[in-house]
């Protein structure tokens, strides 16, 4: 791993930007309907539990990379295979996120432009940032997080000033009982976006104060969950449940409805900057995890040599992962949670925690 250190504040910013990333773009907790904001809050609670599990693995050896930790727990051969699966997972999710933002740009701003070209421009920026290292990426996050926050506050003020919010669209709260909310949590919001924080086990060893990891991570999840819940509730209160569910990108649809004093409208292009910032950091952090993991497994002395090949693989996968956006969305909502997210985010880490627990107990005896 590179010799770099980041502060707790920078870790917090990176985690929040990562969580918001594509979750602002795509509607999380779809099956919860008007109670989707509740499913996000419940998903945040589950995300805290998952993060505590990841933190347990991290604190086994705070100075070691997660790939070294896995090898110490499972042995070299099995550890290599499991670590390779995590690299494949990070590659797959990075491609999905890249595809999300490429489709958004095509639909809203660049119709008729080849998807490969748009995704290529996005991945080039991510590759450049990852080559500079985690410290540069973290400092960039501090600057862009301020811009993103300012634009979000302006957007909220404009929505309120436009008189678009109708609280009745959020009623009845729990009209169908708690079961749809729990189902939405266990099948969607727990994995996306909160379970994806597993990629941060690669970033945690860089923190200059290891004792602050748990507190920083929990607060980042709480803040992210609250922002996403407010965003979802706002989309539903402005568009209504049916239009929100039908919209590919509900936040952009909400912004498009803003009209103040009959002259201030069509602000969706302006607020696309907020979405692009989140997408940039999410893809970059996944690319970073792939790069570090591959350099360790294949014993590459200089990890930066793998950034371009990793980025090209993610780019090709992003355009070939689905034939159209409908297929891409179905794969992300119906297939990925159970067959990709569940084993990688929950089952494997839980097994590793159990192995580590019994090894420590046996060693203590």
Q: Assess if residue 187 is contained within a domain.
A: yes
Tokens 């839980």 belong to which residue? Answer: 350
The domain that holds 203 is classified in CATH as: 1.20.1740.10
Considering just the CA atoms, what is the radius of gyration of the chain in Å?
20
User: Using an 8 Å Cβ cutoff, are 283 and 94 in contact?
Assistant: yes
Q: Assess if residue 362 is contained within a domain.
A: no
Question: Which pLDDT does position 365 carry in this prediction?
Answer: 66
What percent of the chain stands above pLDDT 70? 97
What percent of the chain stands above pLDDT 90? 47
Tokens 């669209």 belong to which residue? Answer: 169
Is the predicted pLDDT of residue 3 greater than 80, yes or no?
Answer: no
Tokens for 28, please give them: 């999380």
Q: Assess if residue 2 is contained within a domain.
A: no
Long-range contacts of 59-68 (CB under 8 A, 24+ apart): 59/210, 59/213, 60/356, 62/204, 62/205, 62/210, 62/213, 63/205, 64/205, 65/1, 65/202, 65/205, 65/292, 65/296, 66/201, 66/202, 66/205, 67/293, 67/296, 67/297, 68/296
Tokens for 85, please give them: 């699966």
> How far apart are alpha carbons 286 and 289 in whole angstroms?
5
Q: Assess if residue 21 is contained within a domain.
A: yes
Question: Which pLDDT does position 42 carry in this prediction?
Answer: 94
> How far apart are alpha carbons 191 and 54 in whole angstroms?
14
Q: Assess if residue 346 is contained within a domain.
A: yes
Mean pLDDT score across all residues of the chain: 88
Provide the 10 A C-beta neighbour count for residue 161. Answer: 13
For 66-85, how does the pLDDT look when each residue is reduced to its tens digit (9 = 90+)? 888 898 899 889 999 999 99
Name which residue leads in pLDDT, 157 or 311: 311
Q: Which domain holds residue 269?
A: 8-357
Tokens 């980025």 belong to which residue? Answer: 311
Is the predicted pLDDT of residue 36 greater than 80, yes or no?
Answer: yes
Is the predicted pLDDT of residue 263 greater than 70, yes or no?
Answer: no
Question: Which pLDDT does position 328 carry in this prediction?
Answer: 87
Q: Assess if residue 364 is contained within a domain.
A: no
> How far apart are alpha carbons 13 and 9 in whole angstroms?
6
Q: What is the DSSP letter of 301?
A: S
Give whole-number Cα distances, 65 to 13, 52, 62, in Å.
21, 17, 8
Name which residue leads in pLDDT, 141 or 165: 141
Give the number of domains in the chain: 1
> How far apart are alpha carbons 127 and 350 in whole angstroms?
32
User: Using an 8 Å Cβ cutoff, are 170 and 237 in contact?
Assistant: yes
User: Using an 8 Å Cβ cutoff, are 102 and 120 in contact?
Assistant: no
Question: Which pLDDT does position 156 carry in this prediction?
Answer: 83
Q: Assess if residue 1 is contained within a domain.
A: no
For 192-251, how does the pLDDT look when each residue is reduced to its tens digit (9 = 90+)? 989 999 999 999 989 988 899 999 999 999 999 999 999 999 989 988 888 888 888 888
Question: Can you list the alpha helix ranges (DSSP code H) found in the chain?
Answer: 8-20, 36-58, 66-74, 76-108, 115-132, 134-161, 179-184, 213-239, 241-246, 250-256, 268-297, 307-320, 325-330, 336, 348-364
> How far apart are alpha carbons 335 and 344 in whole angstroms?
14
């Amino acid at each position: 791993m590179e010799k770099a250190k980041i502060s707790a504040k920078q870790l917090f910013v990176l985690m929040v930007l990562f969580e918001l990333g594509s979750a602002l773009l795509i509607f999380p907790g779809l099956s919860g309907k008007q109670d989707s904001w509740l499913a996000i809050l419940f998903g945040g609670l589950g995300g805290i539990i998952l993060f505590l599990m990841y933190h347990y693995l991290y604190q086994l050896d705070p100075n070691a990379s997660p790939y070294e930790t896995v090898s110490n727990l499972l042995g070299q051969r099995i550890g290599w295979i499991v670590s390779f699966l995590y690299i494949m997972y990070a590659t797959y999710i990075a491609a999905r996120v890249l595809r999300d933002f490429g489709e958004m740009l095509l639909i809203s701003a660049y119709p008729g432009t080849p998807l490969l070209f748009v995704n290529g421009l996005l991945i080039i920026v991510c590759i450049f940032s990852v080559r500079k290292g985690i410290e540069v990426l973290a400092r960039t996050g501090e600057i862009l997080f301020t811009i993103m926050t300012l634009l979000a506050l302006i957007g909220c003020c404009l929505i309120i000033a436009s008189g678009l919010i109708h609280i009745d669209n959020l009623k009845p709260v729990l009209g169908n009982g708690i079961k749809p909310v729990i189902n939405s949590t266990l099948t969607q919001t727990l994995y996306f976006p909160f379970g994806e924080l597993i990629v941060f086990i690669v970033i945690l060893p860089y923190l200059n104060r290891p004792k602050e990891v748990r507190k920083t991570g929990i607060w980042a999840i709480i803040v992210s969950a609250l922002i996403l819940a407010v965003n979802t509730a706002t989309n539903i209160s402005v568009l209504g449940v049916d239009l929100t569910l039908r919209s590919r990108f509900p936040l952009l649809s909400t912004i498009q409805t803003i009209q103040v004093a009959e002259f201030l409208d069509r602000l969706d292009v302006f607020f696309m900057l907020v979405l692009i910032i989140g997408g940039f950091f999410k893809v970059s952090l996944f690319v970073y995890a792939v790069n570090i993991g591959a350099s360790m497994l294949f014993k590459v002395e200089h990890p930066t040599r793998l950034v371009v090949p990793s980025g090209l693989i993610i780019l090709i996968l992003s355009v070939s992962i689905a034939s159209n956006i409908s297929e891409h969305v179905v794969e992300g909502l119906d297939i990925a949670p159970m067959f990709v997210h569940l084993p990688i985010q929950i089952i494997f880490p839980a097994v590793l925690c159990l192995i580590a627990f019994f090894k420590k107990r046996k060693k203590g005896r």
